[in-house]
Structure 1
Amino acid sequence: MPARILFIDDDPAGREVALFNLRKAGHEVTSAADGREGLAAFAAAPFDLVITDLKMPGIPGMEVLRKVRAHSPEVPVLVITAFGNVETAVAAMREGAYDFIGKPFHREQLLLSVGKALERRRLAAEVRDLRVRASGVGREIVCASDAMRRLLTIADRVAATDATVLITGESGTGKEVIARRIHVRSPRAEGPFVAVNCAAIPGELLESELFGHARGAFTGAVRDRAGRFRQASGGTLFLDEVAEIPAALQGKLLRALQEKTVDAVGADAPVPVDARIVAATNRDLPERIRAGAFREDLYYRLNVVDLHVPPLRERPADVAPLARRFISELAPGREIAVPPEVTAELERRPWPGNVRELRNACERMVVLCRGDAVSLEELPPLPRAAGERGGEEAQDWPPLPAEGFSLVDLEKRVIERALRLTGGNITQAAAYLRIPRHILVYRLEKYGIRRDG
């Protein structure tokens, strides 16, 4: 199979012979006359294999080997050494070279070594992909719209780097799915993917959750806790709802991002961490900055690459394939069709809860469907506007009986109605009720209320 090969040798005659043979075999070859030129070429473009002479003026081949292995350990390196120089070849193998080729080399020997190295790379990539799939981190993304295809193209390009990413978009658009895709397509894919919902954790506990604590740091700290930053070492830390981090904690997060160290609560010294940061929010962070609720320097540190996930109403071409996928997943073993009139209605709706709301609607249709096709009657009703209730109910709600009324029951009923109004979208329900999202999450757990109200 043709491959992209970087060939580094200061011997012009040997270099030309090798280039001729490799190109004749169908490979795309870039040549370099010394180590410095070779490393510059390697930094500028991706390669499947590097072949380098060991003895060169300037940067020697052993240093080229070390730098290639440090930057891209998945790229095999073949080293060229003079016959009889076995000690040098063994030293190169210990440094991570895949194999060595004696000089002067024959065409068959060169092509055989190249073929084995490329096969090793292919097998290693397959094993890596299997491990990543087995981890269950990745999620398949169904899309047909140009907007989502452009977003995924950029996300894949960013994944290959270690840049911090800020994913923005309305609640339910699939920001975490994008974050997971970035992780599984990154060099850190075999490391952990640690997700933290910053809005669901009370502010006084979030510091310990993120940075960890030492035993005895506070009442109840009976043992050391590593914290999510250290748990994500070698992988990706996903900070969901990052706009909800309390102002008092934002400075500590900024320092962790800048210094790549964390200060555990009650610990004596900072601990180095190696985690790639991907953050997400459905809030307008520039507006939060103007309101004094979010640090501007933290925003710029997080917003190295900004990926905006468009709402579902702006990409109606995605609605039908998403609905088919959800119905297939929710009805295993059943063949349920989606008629054109149902598809048209799904594409017509505004979906304020985005993909999450669409999935809830598909689940309802699957539960209610008794045939081999869903119908319009099985779709959830559109939420009524605030002014559409009956006159007496709108003017005097709730009714107050003479014998008294439970305030707890009232709160539960209000939360359930807000959830129904927003299609089960917690963030929108919290905004409707004018309370922080984590307070609403706490109330849902306290009262045992389902998100579908």
Structure 2
Amino acid sequence: MSLNPMPRGRILAIDDEAEILENFELCLLADGHRYAGFTSVEEGLLEASSERYDLCLLDRHIGRDCGVETLPKLKQLAPWMRVIMITAHADVDAALEALRAGADDYLVKPCSPEQLSVAVARQLEAGRLSQRIEALEREHPSPPSELSSTHAGTQQVFDLARRVADTDANVLILGESGTGKGVLAQHIHACSKRQESELVTINCPSLSAELLESELFGHTKGAYTGATNASPGRVSEADGGTLFLDEIGDFPIGLQAKLLRFIQDKVYERLGDPKTRHADVRIVSATNRDLTQMVSEQRFREDLLYRLNVITLTLPPLRERGQDIIDLAERFLDRFAGNYARPARRFSEEARQALLLHRWPGNVRELQNVVERAVILSEGEVIEPLLLGLQAQPSGGQGQTTALVGTDITLADLERLHIQAVLGRAETLDQAAKILDIDPSTLYRKRKALGLDTD
């Protein structure tokens, strides 16, 4: 008797082949599930809007309709529902497209009853686990995994952020692209006394000066060409909460005086309306630019900078954070393996070294994307370097280890990387020992102790 009975659920299938739907029905009813199948997208969406289903089997091509385009509509109707995309070809690009669009898994048809049963059971269990985790997180909120660090400088930044979160002090977050400035801004708001009100984000580089002013402070109908409807503005939306100005270094110089006035006096006017309004808003801003240099070049107001940087938090680049690279990669691995119901559980030693050696110009965002892709493509429990898709480092070059000097990588890991690099370019053990200036017998013992003995 099984100690872990197969989970039962309500299954919806959308496929334009009636024979496929009949096969699904035979298999799923035999497994004890409740089932409904439809040959058109319209019928399937109508059913999803009227009945609650745990899982949908969605064909990638349904007549003239595209399953990938239908997927967001399903998720909007039933955000809790897991989706398995059904495809006629074992195409990695098609699978990645489906998973990126929000599918939780994919199957190649025709598939065996066993394959269908296992895939369905895995997604039902993943869905129920996700719901339990969400319930626990609502009861016991915790900081995102990106806001945990063994790097002393980074942890000091996170600690300071938590200390100032429950004040109304304006915060300026500095750091390279992808270091997690937006995540930190969200956490500051979540830990503040304003958490019950809105966190409103404006991406400064995405709009012209006129549109940015309208987006920020609002406008009346007809205030400018194209203003066919009135808008209250993002400042009004953020009243009582937090306004996050992302990439503040790109804020137009001609509009900075109005922003300064609002920050100082909490008052503003909408475009086309002389009435002065008030809004109680905390300002959190972020940039990857050197604002002090921009002040000296007269591209940013000094008085505005002083108002923005009451508290300044500077996030170090990922390449300087040593062991954080592995810790974050493992957290992302756990997260995406759960989200996509994939078997991946750990990185091989070679994959760990590849992660440490990469320079991470895109920082935490790049690491997250690399791990997500590796998890999606994984077929076993161990992720190998090839799945990471990282650019190979020069064989035996000093760049492999010198890039890590001064970071928080342990001395043992640094020694292992250096010995591995020397062994890779030396023709014999004796030659490697001579380069390292140690006895060959010592190198032999170190090689075995470090797991580098491949003979």
TM-score, normalized by length of structure 2? 0.53
Preserved CA contact (<8 Å) 2:342 2:379: no
Q: Could you tell me how far 1:311 is from its partner in structure 2?
A: 0.6
Partner of 1:231: 237
Q: 1:334 aligns with which of 342, 350, 355?
A: 342
Counterparts of 1:16-415 in structure 2, within 5 Å, are 133=138, 139-140=144-145, 141-332=147-338, 333-336=341-344, 337-382=346-391
Q: Could you tell me how far 1:239 is from its partner in structure 2?
A: 0.3
Report % sequence identity.
45
Rounded to whole Å, the distance in 2 between the matches of 1:211 and 1:384 is: 49
Preserved CA contact (<8 Å) 1:365 1:374: yes
Rounded to whole Å, the distance in 2 between the matches of 1:179 and 1:156 is: 11
Distance of aligned partners of 1:184 and 1:131 in 2 relative to their CA distance in 1, 3 Å threshold? farther
Rounded to whole Å, the distance in 1 between the matches of 2:273 and 2:354 is: 57
Q: Could you tell me how far 1:203 is from its partner in structure 2?
A: 2.6
AA aligned to 2:266 is K
Rounded to whole Å, the distance in 1 between the matches of 2:330 and 2:373 is: 14
Instruction: Give CA deviations for 1:112-160 in whole Å, capped at 9, x if unaligned.
Output: xxxxxxxxxxxxxxxxxx99949x9974434332222211110011112
> SS at 1:289's partner residue?
helix
Instruction: Give CA deviations for 1:25-47 in whole Å, capped at 9, x if unaligned.
Output: xxxxxxxxxxxxxxxxxxxxxxx
Distance of aligned partners of 1:229 and 1:131 in 2 relative to their CA distance in 1, 3 Å threshold? farther
Rounded to whole Å, the distance in 2 between the matches of 1:260 and 1:269 is: 14
Rounded to whole Å, the distance in 2 between the matches of 1:345 and 1:246 is: 41
Q: Could you tell me how far 1:365 is from its partner in structure 2?
A: 1.5
Counterparts of 1:430-441 in structure 2, within 5 Å, are none
Greater Cα shift, 222-231 or 293-302: 222-231
Preserved CA contact (<8 Å) 1:328 1:335: no
AA aligned to 1:344 is Q
Q: Could you tell me how far 1:347 is from its partner in structure 2?
A: 1.5
Distance of aligned partners of 1:374 and 1:153 in 2 relative to their CA distance in 1, 3 Å threshold? same
> SS at 1:238's partner residue?
strand
Rounded to whole Å, the distance in 1 between the matches of 2:167 and 2:202 is: 22
Preserved CA contact (<8 Å) 2:217 2:268: yes
Partner of 2:36: none
AA aligned to 2:172 is L
Rounded to whole Å, the distance in 1 between the matches of 2:302 and 2:157 is: 25
AA aligned to 2:342 is R
Q: How many residues align?
A: 256
Distance of aligned partners of 1:253 and 1:315 in 2 relative to their CA distance in 1, 3 Å threshold? same
TM-score, normalized by length of structure 1? 0.53
Preserved CA contact (<8 Å) 1:132 1:184: no
Q: Any gaps of 5 or more consecutive residues in structure 2?
A: 1-134, 395-455
Instruction: Give CA deviations for 1:196-220 in whole Å, capped at 9, x if unaligned.
Output: 1111223331000001112221223
AA aligned to 1:375 is E
Rounded to whole Å, the distance in 1 between the matches of 2:150 and 2:348 is: 19
AA aligned to 1:300 is Y
> SS at 1:195's partner residue?
strand
Preserved CA contact (<8 Å) 1:132 1:189: no
> SS at 1:331's partner residue?
helix
Q: Could you tell me how far 1:293 is from its partner in structure 2?
A: 1.1
Preserved CA contact (<8 Å) 1:214 1:266: yes
Instruction: Give CA deviations for 1:41-98 in whole Å, capped at 9, x if unaligned.
Output: xxxxxxxxxxxxxxxxxxxxxxxxxxxxxxxxxxxxxxxxxxxxxxxxxxxxxxxxxx
Q: Any gaps of 5 or more consecutive residues in structure 1?
A: 1-129, 386-453
AA aligned to 2:156 is R
Distance of aligned partners of 1:236 and 1:220 in 2 relative to their CA distance in 1, 3 Å threshold? same
Q: Could you tell me how far 1:363 is from its partner in structure 2?
A: 2.0
AA aligned to 1:310 is P
Q: Could you tell me how far 1:325 is from its partner in structure 2?
A: 1.6
Preserved CA contact (<8 Å) 1:198 1:245: yes
Preserved CA contact (<8 Å) 2:148 2:155: no
> SS at 2:207's partner residue?
coil
Q: Could you tell me how far 1:253 is from its partner in structure 2?
A: 0.6
Preserved CA contact (<8 Å) 1:188 1:234: yes
